[in-house]
């Protein structure tokens, strides 16, 4: 199958996960192949959605922000599909993950350090989710390790 | 103060958060400035630690992995500083965040889909944290939104 993820794809992904700004040329040199091959594999990984995004991990604290994680469970009657579109539109919400286990929805908010303003944002977000059963609020104080693959 | 984060820094960060592979040239064109200025600002943001990393957000499911989030609280007597080094070394642990609120430690594991193997990894990780009080285990099934800034 042409679309299958192979060894070179995994090696490209691992390198990009450490530095997403590596050029085709640099990747090709490290992996002992051609720029054309790297570019072709990356195009495919992007098209297939295996690579969802190239992004930057910032220090939110240095930028004056607070990073809050909401771990949510909803009552069994709630259809999460119906809630998602409203949450996606909300600019204060940066990450939305559906899940099973302790939480059925994980939401990341990046907000101001002012606790009164932050409280307003968190309660606005939670009001958009009808049928919340439990809500765990965690304030990230330091990201000690951040790797992807 | 020369090191202060200014408007152009924020605009660079927002563009890179959407696509970390934009070249200096592309960033300069979008922001109507020079490559030299972009390169200088980015160097500074990297040196200051405001940019912690350029990375890729992959589809773990497509790669055959499961993404698990452990939300941990520890007993008041536990000194988290002492636990961190052992956790940082663990290759199964991708993200480690110190926190306050519902959880005092958030750990992300990227592991195999095989539940028996995954259980082994999770219990190995939790054995490295003495004095766990509560452990929430959440399995991410879908990342619906992933933005950074």
CB B87 to CB A145 under 8 A?
yes
Query: Does residue A37 form part of some domain?
Result: yes
A145 neighbourhood in chain B, CB within 8 Å: 87-88, 93-96
Asked whether residue A100 is assigned to any structural domain, the reply reads yes
Looking up residue B90, the CATH number of its domain turns out to be: 3.30.70.920
Q: Are residues A38 and A87 in the same domain?
A: no
How many domains, chain A? 2
A21 touches chain B (CB under 8 A): yes
pLDDT digits (tens, 9 = 90+) for B43-98: 999 999 999 999 999 999 999 999 999 999 999 999 999 999 999 999 999 999 99
The SS3 call for residue B79 is: coil
Residue B93 belongs to what domain range?
A: 65-140
**pLDDT class of B24 with cuts at 50, 70, 90:** very high
3-state helix, strand, coil split of chain A in percent (to 5) is 40, 35, 30
Q: Which residue of B has its CA nearest to A59?
A: B50
Mean pLDDT in chain B? 96
Residue A78 phi, psi (nearest 5): -80, 135
- For residue B146, tell me if it sits in a domain: no
In chain B, residues with a C-beta closer than 8 Å to the C-beta of A57 are 51-55, 148
Q: What is the pLDDT of residues A38-64, one digit of tens each?
A: 999 999 999 999 999 999 999 999 999
Q: Is B145 within the bounds of a domain?
A: no
What per-residue confidence (pLDDT) applies to A1?
40
Residues A114 and A84 in one domain: yes
CB contact under 8 A, B69 and A106: yes
Phi, psi of B24 (to 5 degrees): -55, -40
Q: What are phi and psi of B126, to 5 degrees?
A: -70, -30
C-alpha–C-alpha distance, residues A56 and B52, integer Å = 7
Check CB contact under 8 Å for B71 and A16. no
CB A62 within 8 A of CB B50: yes
Instruction: Let me know whether B88 and B43 are in one domain.
Output: no
Instruction: Looking at the complex, report in whole angstroms how far the Cα of residue B64 sits from the nearest Cα belonging to chain A.
Output: 10
Q: For residues A43 and A69, state if they share a domain.
A: no
Task: Report the CATH number at residue A30.
Answer: 1.10.10.10
State whether A29 and A72 are in the same domain. no
CA distances from B45 to A59, A94, A116, B3 (A): 10, 21, 29, 9
Query: Are residues A135 and A75 both part of a single domain?
Result: yes
């Amino acid at each position: 199958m042409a679309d299958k993820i192979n060894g070179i794809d995994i090696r490209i992904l691992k390198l990009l996960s450490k530095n997403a700004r590596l050029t085709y040329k640099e990747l090709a040199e490290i992996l002992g192949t051609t720029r054309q091959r790297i570019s072709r594999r990356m195009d495919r990984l992007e098209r297939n959605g295996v690579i969802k995004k190239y992004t930057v991990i910032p220090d939110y604290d240095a930028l004056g922000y607070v990073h809050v994680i909401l771990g949510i469970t909803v009552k069994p009657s709630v259809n999460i599909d119906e809630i998602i579109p409203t949450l996606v539109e909300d600019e204060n919400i940066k990450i939305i993950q559906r899940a099973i286990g302790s939480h059925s929805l994980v939401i990341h908010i990046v907000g101001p350090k002012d606790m009164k303003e932050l409280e307003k944002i968190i309660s606005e977000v939670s009001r958009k989710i009808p049928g919340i059963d439990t809500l765990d609020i965690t304030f990230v104080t330091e990201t000690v390790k951040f790797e992807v693959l």
